[in-house]
Amino acid sequence: MTRTSVALVHHPCVDKNGEIYTTSITNLDVHDIARTSRTYGIGAFYLVTPVTAQQEMARAITSYWDGPGRERNPTRHDALELVRVVAALEDAVEAERALLGEKPVVVATSAKLGSRAPMSHPEARLRMDNASGVLLVFGTGYGLAPSVVDGADLLLEPLPGRDGYNHLSVRSAAAIIIDRLLG
């Protein structure tokens, strides 16, 4: 059984001009992607940010749902307990490697075609079936930095939008891609 994990990267991302920058954590990204992760049996949901104040905020969110929020809404606790706050994507890869005993297949996602040839969702699904672990990586802002895309083991094809429209929220894109790969 393949263990699949998810990472949501806030650095390094690109802004609208293609410059490297760092985005802020969005509370509803944490909730929505944690809920989707729990629905599809994902092992861990890594929130990646090097900003310590942001790391603390993320931990404040998740600790609420491990404390008072748990009684109020136990299903939200069940989702948010998947969250792991890490400083860099490499930390997520290392944490998964420690669990699996080998490096997970790192799968980058992008809303646009770039220089690297992408893999279709059915092909990726097949490749995942033969891996012991997979780390699915989503970007924020205007997407993952090229260094992340180039450093991944494979790049998933973008979701095709009508008339070339490719502006899904990362919450929706993650839901659709996770359903296509694991549903």
Neighbours of 103 (CB within 10 A): 15
**Residue 131, amino acid:** A
The reply to whether 1 sits near a second copy by the rule CB under 8 A is no
Burial class (CB in 10 A: 0-12, 13-18, 19+), 21: middle
Question: Which member of 35, 45, 133, 136 binds a second copy (CB under 8 A)?
Answer: 35
SS3 category, 16: coil
Please select the residue that binds a second copy; options are 2, 50, 78, 88, rule is CB under 8 A.
78
With residue 98 as reference, give the H or E element that holds it. Answer: helix 89-100
Residues from 161 through 180 that contact a second copy (CB under 8 A):
161-163, 165-169, 171-176, 179-180
| Token pair belonging to 99 | 């669990």
Under the binding rule (CB under 8 A), the answer on residue 71 touching a second copy is: no
Q: Of 79, 93, 108, 128, which one interacts with a second copy (CB under 8 A)?
A: 79
Minimum distance from CB of 82 to a second copy (Å)?
Answer: 11
Residue type for 20, please? I
The residue range among 52-60, 63-71, 127-135, 157-165 that interacts with a second copy, by the rule CB under 8 A, is: 157-165
Q: How many residues bind a second copy (CB under 8 A)?
A: 31
For 103, phi and psi rounded to 5 degrees? -70, 135
Whether 148 and 11 have beta carbons less than 8 Å apart is answered as: no
- Distance of closest approach, residue 94 Cβ to a second copy, in angstroms: 26
Residue 120 interacts with a second copy (CB under 8 A): yes or no: no
- Residue closer to a second copy (CB basis): 60 or 167: 167
